[in-house]
Homo-oligomer: A and B are copies of this chain.
């Protein structure tokens, strides 16, 4: 069956936009240009110099040049952010154009609205590129777990933070030092907040949660803790105890409610996720029939993101997207969200105390009074001049709420010099 050539509009011509334009118009292979024609590109700044030969492609700064063009079938949105992307995507859908996006923020915050608009307009909205780059996690959650009840998802889904944590661990340098270098090398943005404070991860986690559990997630209900406060000492001690440190994004079913959290965590070194380094991503999905499945690969970058965008375009071209919309729902459950109080884990804490008799006993008593028992204690870096010592404590499992109560009391211990670190330990 001969398929009609697809006319597409492209919104955004940054790193991703340029790459996808380059791939589609690759004159050497002609593989894509036989099928797809980039008719119009909308950019913010028309005056910006670009190293492209645009041939018949129109460059405009007016979104209406896409919206009003009835010949454009599909729009690729790669500007990112909530606004004006929401406006652009919704108008495209309403004007009968399918949309493919890499925008995690708009999908996390307003994806359900956009999907409803698509449904009402009989258009398709796809977003494989929004999580995990070329890792086909969106499509897998849509189709490959239909027969499963999903118990949870746990992931490393932010390349920048994983790059920074990997280098902190390998090189023993501080967060600031590695961040500066990462910025120079293009692995972190000038304003790195979105990545290093975990916002980007919360967006992706919200998208995965919606797909896996059908649950609407308000971003602010996700527990979020970034990596900016992790000290480089922690990597050394964690390693000694048999762990590596990763920024984990997790959703877990607990008594039919969902607990969502993004925070640095200790991961046992023998677990595959502990060894996912640099800019790699890994998503672990627990199905009741499949058991844990792991998807791993480069989670970002122009090539791999373009791969995901193009696959979405083909799914729309081939009508696969439309069939998926009409999918049989096997399990229809409603989930509400619970907060971090209900989290249960082992904890790693590091404190500096005055090096004298009885301090450890008082610390143990506080924990013990709260029902928390100690698994391991390491005494480190005794400073003879200051008469200080460092204690690294690994607890047995405790409930977050109770742990935080205990921490309050520990912070009031009279022999405490500084409370240095508190990290959670992932359970496997």
Contact = CB atoms under 8 A, between A and B. Distances in A.
Interface of A: 1, 3, 23, 31-32, 35, 133-136, 139-140, 143-148, 270, 272, 275-276, 287-298, 303-304, 306-307, 310-311, 314-315, 317-320, 322-324, 326-328, 330-331
Nearest to A29: B331
A136 B287 CA distance: 12
Contact of A293 (B297, B318, B327): B297
Nearest to A295: B295
Contact of A319 (B139, B297, B323): B323
A310 B287 CA distance: 13
A135 B323 CA distance: 22
Contacts of A326: 1, 318-319
Nearest to A296: B294
Nearest to A282: B294
A310 B146 contact: yes
Given A318-B323, A320-B143, A328-B3, A290 B294 contact: no
A54 to B, nearest CB: 22
Contacts of A306: 147, 289
B139 A143 contact: yes
Given A1-B326, A318-B324, A293 B140 contact: no
A14 to B, nearest CB: 18
Q: Which of A31, A136, A276 has the most CB of B within 10 A?
A: A136
A199 to B, nearest CB: 25
A307 B294 contact: no
Contacts of A143: 136, 139, 311, 314-315, 320
The 4 closest A-B pairs by CB, nearest first: A147-B310, A134-B290, A136-B144, A289-B307
A140 B292 CA distance: 17
Contact of A303 (B146, B291, B298, B314): B291
A208 to B, nearest CB: 16
Contact of A135 (B3, B31, B146, B293): B293
Nearest to A306: B289
Contact of A139 (B3, B144, B296, B298): B144
Contacts of A295: 293-296
24 contacts: A23-B289, A31-B330, A35-B328, A134-B287, A134-B290, A134-B293, A135-B290, A135-B293, A136-B293, A139-B143, A143-B320, A144-B311, A146-B311, A147-B306, A147-B307, A272-B296, A290-B303, A290-B307, A291-B304, A293-B295, A314-B330, A319-B323, A320-B323, A322-B323
Contact of A134 (B289, B304, B317): B289
A304 B289 contact: yes
Contact of A297 (B139, B291, B315, B327): B291
Contacts of A290: 133-135, 297-298, 303-304, 307
Contacts of A319: 323, 326
Contact of A317 (B148, B315, B328): B328
A269 to B, nearest CB: 10
Contacts of A148: 307
